[in-house]
Chains A and B, each alone.
Chain A
């Protein structure tokens, strides 16, 4: 099993450009998440999907959109990138809602720089 995979690993964008970060998991998990990680601020939840066909906002959703394409795939889109979106982005999945105490499995991350 590959676990959680993310593409691309690195990306440099200019302000105003758009891009989509891809995430896939092969563990048959219901829930998937997108986080960003900035120095000194820990992981912050952008969006999550508790099941196929549903998505909800997290702590910092502004400037992002998501699509739960199917049970395996959850993508994050930046429509008009801004320098404040320079960060490391992690996708994660879990077998059930976090409220059930399930653990999260993380991908390797995408390092995004917006100039």
Chain B
């Protein structure tokens, strides 16, 4: 069956460290993968998109990698800050390219 998993439900890290979040999928062949941030009581906000032919994408302190062989994407936040505390969702296109499928999310807490 098709499945998207994110490494853990919650992740705590110390301010200034690099946070690494994982998104694994099975039985999908996505052309691209996206990462969203969601704050409590609000809708998700788009952060980054990476295509299947791209190994890595960066935006300020954010970095995303995409390994189609491992069927995995890694999302890194360097020099993390308490303001980075949120839930992060990965999303990929389904095999028909019609719609997104979202992972369950990882709740990141950056401790001062």
Residues of A within 8 A of B (CB): 4, 33, 35, 40-45, 48, 56, 58, 90, 92, 97-99, 101, 103-109
Choose one: A35, A99, A108; the contact of B93 (CB below 8 Å).
Answer: A99
Minimal Cβ-Cβ distance residue in A for B48: A103
Residues of B within 8 A of A (CB): 4, 9, 31-32, 34, 41-46, 49, 51, 89, 91, 93, 96-105
Minimal Cβ-Cβ distance residue in B for A4: B43
Q: What is the distance, in angstroms, from A99's C-beta to the closest C-beta of chain B? A: 3
A35 to B38, CA, bound (A): 14
**Inter-subunit contact B31/A101 (CB<8 Å):** yes
Which residues on B sit within 8 Å (CB–CB) of A90? 43-44
A33 to B101, CA, bound (A): 12
**Inter-subunit contact A109/B99 (CB<8 Å):** no
A92 to B49, CA, bound (A): 17
Which residues on A sit within 8 Å (CB–CB) of B43? 4, 90, 92, 106-109
Choose one: A40, A99, A101; the contact of B104 (CB below 8 Å).
Answer: A40
**Inter-subunit contact B9/A99 (CB<8 Å):** no
Minimal Cβ-Cβ distance residue in B for A6: B43
**Inter-subunit contact A42/B32 (CB<8 Å):** no
A107 to B43, CA, bound (A): 6
Which residues on B sit within 8 Å (CB–CB) of A48? 99
Which residues on B sit within 8 Å (CB–CB) of A58? 99
Which residues on A sit within 8 Å (CB–CB) of B99? 33, 45, 48, 58, 98
**Inter-subunit contact A42/B89 (CB<8 Å):** yes
**Inter-subunit contact A43/B44 (CB<8 Å):** yes
Which residues on A sit within 8 Å (CB–CB) of B4? 42
Which residues on B sit within 8 Å (CB–CB) of A98? 93, 97-100
Q: What is the distance, in angstroms, from A92's C-beta to the closest C-beta of chain B? A: 7
Besides A35-B102, A45-B101, A97-B98, 6 more A-B contacts (Cβ < 8 Å) are A56-B98, A98-B93, A103-B46, A104-B46, A107-B43, A108-B41
A97 to B100, CA, bound (A): 10
